[in-house]
Amino acid sequence: MSSALDHALSSATASAPSARASRSALAAGTVGRIGEELINCLLESTHYRSVSVMVEAPLRSVVPRLQPWQVCTAVLADLAHGGAADIALPRVDDVFCCISDARSHFKRDQAYVQLRKEQIPALARLAAQGGVRRFVLVAPLSAFLQLSTSGGLIDLRESDLTTLGFEVLIVVRPTADYATATGSVLERLIGWGAKAIMQIMIPQRLQPLRARQIAQAAVNAATLLGKGVHIVGAHEIAELAAPGTQSNPKRMRL
């Protein structure tokens, strides 16, 4: 069975890795616009010789460097309760996880795993046990919480990630986009109305960015940021997405 996303990937510009490319990556939670762009950005990066992607249904890859990693639904259910310790992730250097509450309206991502926040700690533990060096979490946050948060870790689940021994831990916090093309007509109208209100009330620097910018910022962060725990807020994503642009995401001292 092949996904409609295969066609999108085959038409994307997938740069060949450089002769010195020595890193490999696993992408999980690649649903919706950000997930789709994350796969594209990883395939376009010259730093990765291979990119594995977490799927829950068979997927035929039309890009040689893209390697589907199928996980059964029972394992995914166990992740939410801290289980699945008996499975091993593909041996990779970097893991990218996206949290999303909506799949693609065009059903291009049906084979891909949709992650919930409660599944992240167990997945991160598996990654740490497998020797993963860099863990990148893309966790959208509402614009109103962007205004009130101090720029640090915001809950116990995120704090748990700092104890796992990753060389680099990065939390990317794009502003959640309320105007998603999902749900009933009424739900979509409410979403568009919320976005219109947000555009009036929220500073421009905290407005939702394009999915491409968010994904590119996450990939660039894994390459550009040094050892430690880094929080990449909404106002830093646009800078980090542009190659060669100086960016100063908040680095936490633990």
- Domain around 55: 5-252
Residues 6+ apart with CB under 8 A from 128: 135, 164, 165, 166
Instruction: Please state the pTM of the whole predicted model.
Output: 0.77
Q: State what percent of residues in the chain have pLDDT above 90.
A: 39
Rg (CA), the chain: 17
DSSP state for residue 105 in the 8-state scheme: T
Helices 32-44, 211-224: axis angle to 10 degrees equals 50
Tally of structural domains, the chain: 1
Confidence of residue 195 (pLDDT cuts 50, 70, 90): low
Specify the CATH number for the domain of residue 50. Answer: 3.40.50.720
CA distances for 15 relative to 7, 41, 50, 225, angstroms = 17, 9, 12, 22
DSSP string for residues in 109-131: TTTBPPB-GGGHHHHHHHHHHTT
Encode pLDDT of 157-189 as tens digits. 888 999 999 999 999 998 876 544 445 566 556
Encode pLDDT of 21-54 as tens digits. 789 999 999 998 899 999 999 999 999 999 999 9
Of the listed ranges 26-30, 71-75, 124-128, 217-221, the least confidently predicted one is 71-75
**What SS3 class is residue 145?**
helix
Encode pLDDT of 206-252 as tens digits. 445 688 999 999 999 999 999 999 999 877 888 888 855 444 555 55
Whole-angstrom Cα distance, residue 187 to residue 162?
37
